[in-house]
C-alpha cells in the first residue's frame, strides 16, 4: 500500500469511528424520548374524555325534564297506554332537544310504553341496547349508554301515571368531541370495544389494564392507557406504534446518511491532506523520469519557496531553453504535415470543385500561418470577383469587388501579387473586402488566364509576410490553377457523356439513370410517373428535300420548344434519330395526356425556321405510357410508350395515343 493510501485510511478511521458511536447513541435517545412523550399524551386525552362525559351526565337530568315540560299531556298519553302516540310524542320531543340521544316512557307497572332514539355510532357487531334494557339499567353509565334516574310524570289529583328516562349513547360522537391528534379513543364495555376513533373494522375484545400502559391491537399495534367510567365501562386512549417505529427507522436512515456524507467528506479531506504531503515527491519523481525519456518540455509546478520549490525552479530553468527549441521544430513539422495533407486532398478531389477550392485555400493558409484567407473568383463576364470560399472570415459578410477596385481587383487587373503593408502607392482595401493590417495576395491562373485571386491575412502588424512566404503562396496558387482546370475538364467530359451532341438535351444513358431514380421513388412512396415517346412525322422527307444540315437545325429547334413546355423536374432526352423521350415525374395518365397535347399543339401550331429560312410545318406523333398502369420497369414502360407511338403512326400520325386500352375516366385534351 502506498504512503498516500495509508495516510488516507488512518485519517478516515480516526474521524468516522467516534461519529458512528455518537450517531447510534443519538438515535436511541431521540426515539426513546418520542416514545415516552407519546405515552404521556394518553393521560390528557383520557382526562378530557372523562370531563366531557361528566359535563354531559351532570346536565342530563335537567335536559330530560325540559323535554316533558308539558306534563299533563304526557301523563295523559301514559294513562291512555297508546304506545304509538306516546312514541310519536317522544320522537317530537327528541327532535326538539339536540342534547339527548334517547327517551323511554315507562308505565305504572314498569312496562315500556314508548321509545324514541337517535342512531348510535357503535362498531359493527355491537347492537344498541333494547328499550327494556335501558329501563331496567341503573342510572349512570351502562353498556353503550348513560341514563338518568326515572323521572315521574303525574296528573294533578290522579297521581303518578308513569316515568320518563333519557340519556345519551356512549359512542363515537362522544369520543370525537375529545379526540386529539395522534391519539385514538375507544369505549370498552366489559373488555368489549363498543366505539372507537381508530380504524377498527368490528367490535372485539381487549384486556384493559387500568394501572400501567399496555399493548393493544386496534387495527394496528398500539400503546394504550385506560380509566374507569363506571357500570363496567372504560375509556381507552391509544397511540399507534407504527409511526414511532417508522420514525425510528427514519432517524436511523438519516443518521446513516449523515454518516455516509461524513465518510465521503472525511475521505475527500484525508485524500487532499495525503496528496498535499506526497504530491511534491511525486512531481520530482515524474520530472526526473521525463528528463530520462527526453521530454525536455516537462515542467514541475513551483508550489512553495522551501527546498523543494527551489529544486523545481532549477529543474524548469534547465529544461526551458531546450523545450522552446523542440516546440519550434515540432510546430514547423506540423505545418509541413498539414501542407502535405492539403496537397494530397487537392489531388484526390479533382472531381469536386468546392472541395478543390477549399483544399487550395486551406493549404495556402496553413503553409504561411495565415489567420484568415479568401479565394475570389472572376465572374463569367470577367468584370468583377466574388468570394468563393473563406477561412477565418464570414463569407456572407463579403460583397462583390470590381476588377481594378481594392487589393483583390488590383491583383486581378494587373496579374501581379501584392504584399501588404507596402510603401506609398500600395493598393487600399475596398469596402467589400476584409480589412487586415497584413496581407499577401496572388493571382490564380487557368490556361494562362486569370480566374481568381488568393489572399491571406494576419491581424498582427508586427508579423508581416516574408518574401519566401509570398513565393510559397504563389507556388500553391499555380498548382491550384492546374488542379481547377482538371476539374473543369472532367466536368465538361462528364457533361458531354450524358448529353446529345447535336441538340444539347440529355441522351439515352442519362435518361436511363434518371428513370431508375424516379422508379425507386414511385415504388417507395406509391406515386405515379409517365413516359412520352415522340417522333417527328415524315422527317426523312424533310432531310431529303432540305438537306441534313437544315434537318439538324429543325431537331435543335424542336428540342428547345419541348424543353420550354416541360417542368424542371421532368427529363427530356434524344432517344435516336428523330425520336425523343420524356420522363414526367409524379404525373398520372391524365396529366401525361395533357402535357402531350400541349407539345403536340406547340409543334403543329407554329412553323419551324428563323429569319431568312424557308418555314417548314412539322407535326409530331406521341405515345403515352404511365406507371403502374402500363408497366413497372424501364423495358415494359418504354415498350408500352413505343407501341402507343406506333399506333399513332398507323392511325394517321399527328396525334397522341395512350398505351393499351385507356382508363374509362380518361379525358383527352382537345
Same domain as 565, residue 547: yes
Q: What percent of the chain has pLDDT over 70?
A: 86
The lowest-confidence range among 259-263, 516-520, 531-535 is 259-263
Mean pLDDT of the chain, nearest integer: 83
Same domain as 580, residue 552: yes
Domain stop point among 241, 257, 286 = 241
Q: What percent of the chain has pLDDT over 90?
A: 26
**What is the pLDDT, as a whole number, of residue 666?**
46
Same domain as 470, residue 526: no
Looking at the domain assignment, is residue 69 inside a domain?
no
Same domain as 554, residue 458: no
Looking at the domain assignment, is residue 99 inside a domain?
no
**What is the pLDDT, as a whole number, of residue 277?**
67
**Could you tell me the CATH number of the domain that includes residue 567?**
3.30.70.270
* Burial classification of residue 488, based on how many CB atoms lie within 10 Å of its CB (0-12 exposed, 13-18 middle, 19 or more buried): middle
**What is the pLDDT, as a whole number, of residue 560?**
93
Question: Does the structure show a pLDDT above 60 at 350?
Answer: no
Q: What are phi and psi of 392, to 5 degrees?
A: 80, 5
Same domain as 646, residue 544: yes
Angle among Cα 19, 25, 27 to the nearest 5 degrees reads 100
Tell me the sheet residues that pair with 307: none
**What is the pLDDT, as a whole number, of residue 627?**
95
Tell me the sheet residues that pair with 506: 499, 573
Summarised one tens digit per residue, pLDDT across range 111-151 is 898 999 998 988 888 888 999 998 888 898 888 898 988 88
Domain residues for the domain of 516 are 499-658
Same domain as 550, residue 438: no
Residue found by looking up cell 414511385 in the block? 522
Question: To the nearest 10°, the Cα dihedral for 611, 612, 617, 621?
Answer: -70
Looking at the domain assignment, is residue 88 inside a domain?
no
With contact defined as beta carbons under 8 Å apart, do 631 and 625 qualify?
yes
Per-residue pLDDT band for 421 (boundaries 50, 70, 90) equals confident
491 is catalytic: no
User: 371: closest CA among 362, 360, 382, 383?
Assistant: 362
d(CA 70, CA 65): 10
Cell of 245: 417505529
Specify the higher pLDDT residue, 662 or 360.
360
Specify the higher pLDDT residue, 246 or 260.
260
Give the DSSP H or E segment for 399.
none
With contact defined as beta carbons under 8 Å apart, do 223 and 38 qualify?
yes
* Helices 539-546, 548-565: crossing angle, 10 deg rounding: 140
* Number of domains present in the structure of the chain: 3
Residue 271, CA distances (Å) to 2, 4, 7, 262 in order:
12, 7, 8, 14
Say how many C-beta atoms besides its own lie within 10 A of residue 202's C-beta. Answer: 9
Give the DSSP H or E segment for 379.
none
**Could you tell me the CATH number of the domain that includes residue 483?**
3.30.450.40
With contact defined as beta carbons under 8 Å apart, do 147 and 140 qualify?
yes
Tell me the sheet residues that pair with 583: 531, 571
Q: Give the mean model confidence (pLDDT) for residues 510-519.
A: 91
Same domain as 511, residue 480: no
Cell of 44: 390528557
Same domain as 519, residue 476: no
With contact defined as beta carbons under 8 Å apart, do 183 and 45 qualify?
yes
Helices vs. strands in the chain: H and E counts, helices first: 17, 22
**What is the pLDDT, as a whole number, of residue 493?**
58
Residue 12, CA distances (Å) to 17, 266, 276, 509, 532 in order:
8, 6, 16, 81, 88
Specify the higher pLDDT residue, 62 or 277.
62
**What is the pLDDT, as a whole number, of residue 222?**
82
Looking at the domain assignment, is residue 441 inside a domain?
yes
Domain stop point among 491, 512, 540 = 491
Of 207, 557, 578, 579, the catalytic one is 578
Looking at the domain assignment, is residue 470 inside a domain?
yes
Residue partners of 515: CB distance under 8 A and separation at least 6 = 571, 583, 634
d(CA 220, CA 215): 10
Summarised one tens digit per residue, pLDDT across range 293-309 is 777 677 778 777 776 67
Domain stop point among 224, 241, 258 = 241
Specify the higher pLDDT residue, 421 or 36.
421
Same domain as 628, residue 505: yes
Same domain as 466, residue 545: no
DSSP string, 187-228: EEETTEEEEESS--SS--B----SSS-EEEESSSEEEEEEEE
Summarised one tens digit per residue, pLDDT across range 309-326 is 777 777 777 777 666 656
Same domain as 576, residue 478: no
Same domain as 357, residue 228: no
pTM over 0.75, yes/no: no
Q: Give the mean model confidence (pLDDT) for residues 240-257.
A: 74
What one-character DSSP code corresponds to residue 518? H
Amino acid at each position: 500500500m502506498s504512503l498516500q493510501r495509508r495516510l488516507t485510511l488512518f485519517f478516515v478511521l480516526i474521524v468516522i469511528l467516534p461519529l458512528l458511536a455518537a450517531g447510534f447513541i443519538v438515535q436511541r435517545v431521540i426515539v426513546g424520548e418520542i416514545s415516552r412523550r407519546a405515552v404521556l399524551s394518553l393521560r390528557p386525552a383520557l382526562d378530557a374524555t372523562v370531563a366531557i362525559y361528566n359535563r354531559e351526565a351532570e346536565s342530563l337530568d335537567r335536559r330530560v325534564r325540559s323535554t316533558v315540560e308539558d306534563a299533563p299531556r304526557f301523563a295523559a298519553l301514559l294513562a291512555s297506554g297508546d304506545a304509538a302516540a306516546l312514541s310519536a310524542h317522544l320522537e317530537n320531543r327528541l327532535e326538539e332537544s339536540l342534547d339527548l340521544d334517547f327517551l323511554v316512557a315507562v308505565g305504572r307497572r314498569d312496562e315500556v310504553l314508548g321509545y324514541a332514539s337517535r342512531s348510535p355510532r357503535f362498531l359493527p357487531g355491537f347492537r344498541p341496547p333494547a328499550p327494556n334494557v335501558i329501563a331496567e339499567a341503573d342510572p349512570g353509565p351502562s353498556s353503550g349508554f348513560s341514563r338518568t334516574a326515572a323521572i315521574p310524570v303525574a296528573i294533578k289529583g290522579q297521581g303518578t301515571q308513569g316515568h320518563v328516562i333519557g340519556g345519551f349513547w356512549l359512542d363515537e360522537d362522544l369520543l370525537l368531541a375529545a379526540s386529539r391528534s395522534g391519539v385514538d379513543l375507544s369505549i370498552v364495555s366489559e373488555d368489549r370495544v363498543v366505539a372507537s376513533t381508530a380504524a377498527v373494522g368490528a367490535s372485539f375484545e381487549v384486556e384493559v389494564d387500568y394501572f400501567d400502559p399496555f399493548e393493544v391491537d386496534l387495527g394496528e399495534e398500539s400503546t394504550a392507557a385506560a380509566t374507569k367510567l363506571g357500570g363496567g365501562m372504560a375509556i381507552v386512549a391509544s397511540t399507534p406504534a407504527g409511526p414511532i417505529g417508522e420514525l425510528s427507522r427514519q432517524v436511523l436512515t438519516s443518521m446513516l446518511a449523515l454518516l455516509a456524507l461524513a465518510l465521503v467528506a472525511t475521505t475527500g479531506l484525508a485524500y487532499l491532506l495525503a496528496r498535499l504531503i506526497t504530491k511534491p515527491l511525486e512531481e520530482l519523481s515524474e520530472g526526473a523520469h521525463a528528463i530520462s525519456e527526453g521530454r525536455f518540455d516537462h515542467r514541475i509546478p513551483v508550489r512553495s519557496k522551501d527546498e523543494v520549490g527551489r529544486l523545481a525552479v532549477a529543474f524548469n530553468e534547465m529544461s526551458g531553453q531546450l523545450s522552446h527549441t523542440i516546440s519550434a521544430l515540432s510546430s514547423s513539422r506540423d505545418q509541413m504535415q498539414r501542407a502535405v495533407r492539403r496537397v494530397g486532398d487537392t489531388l484526390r478531389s479533382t472531381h469536386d470543385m468546392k472541395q478543390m477550392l477549399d483544399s487550395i485555400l486551406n493549404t495556402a493558409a496553413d503553409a504561411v500561418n495565415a489567420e484568415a484567407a479568401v479565394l475570389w473568383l472572376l465572374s463569367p463576364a470577367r468584370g468583377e470577383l466574388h468570394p468563393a470560399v473563406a477561412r477565418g472570415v464570414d463569407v456572407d459578410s463579403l460583397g462583390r469587388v470590381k476588377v481594378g477596385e481594392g487589393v483583390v481587383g488590383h491583383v486581378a487587373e494587373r496579374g501581379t501579387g501584392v504584399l501588404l503593408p507596402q510603401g506609398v502607392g500600395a493598393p487600399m482595401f475596398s469596402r467589400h473586402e476584409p480589412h487586415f493590417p497584413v496581407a499577401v495576395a496572388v493571382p490564380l491562373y487557368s490556361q494562362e488566364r486569370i480566374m481568381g485571386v488568393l489572399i491571406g491575412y494576419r491581424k498582427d502588424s508586427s508579423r508581416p509576410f516574408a518574401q519566401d512566404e509570398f513565393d510559397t503562396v504563389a507556388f500553391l496558387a499555380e498548382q491550384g490553377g492546374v488542379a481547377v482546370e482538371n476539374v473543369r475538364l472532367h466536368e465538361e467530359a462528364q457533361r458531354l457523356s450524358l448529353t446529345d451532341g447535336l441538340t444539347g438535351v440529355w441522351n439515352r444513358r442519362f435518361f436511363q439513370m434518371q428513370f431508375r431514380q424516379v422508379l425507386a421513388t414511385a415504388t417507395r412512396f406509391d406515386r405515379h410517373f409517365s413516359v412520352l415517346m415522340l417522333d417527328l412525322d415524315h422527317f426523312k422527307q424533310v432531310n431529303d428535300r432540305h438537306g441534313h444540315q437544315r434537318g439538324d437545325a429543325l431537331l435543335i429547334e424542336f428540342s428547345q420548344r419541348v424543353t420550354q413546355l416541360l417542368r424542371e423536374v421532368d427529363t427530356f432526352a434524344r432517344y435516336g434519330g428523330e425520336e425523343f423521350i420524356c420522363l414526367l415525374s409524379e404525373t398520372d395518365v391524365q396529366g401525361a395526356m395533357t402535357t402531350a397535347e400541349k407539345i403536340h399543339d406547340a409543334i403543329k401550331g407554329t412553323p419551324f425556321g428563323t429569319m431568312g429560312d424557308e418555314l417548314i410545318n412539322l407535326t409530331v406523333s406521341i405515345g403515352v405510357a404511365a406507371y403502374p398502369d402500363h408497366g413497372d420497369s424501364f423495358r415494359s414502360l418504354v415498350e408500352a410508350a413505343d407501341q402507343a407511338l406506333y399506333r399513332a403512326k398507323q392511325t394517321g400520325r399527328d396525334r397522341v395515343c395512350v398505351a393499351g386500352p385507356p382508363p374509362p375516366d380518361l379525358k383527352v385534351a382537345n
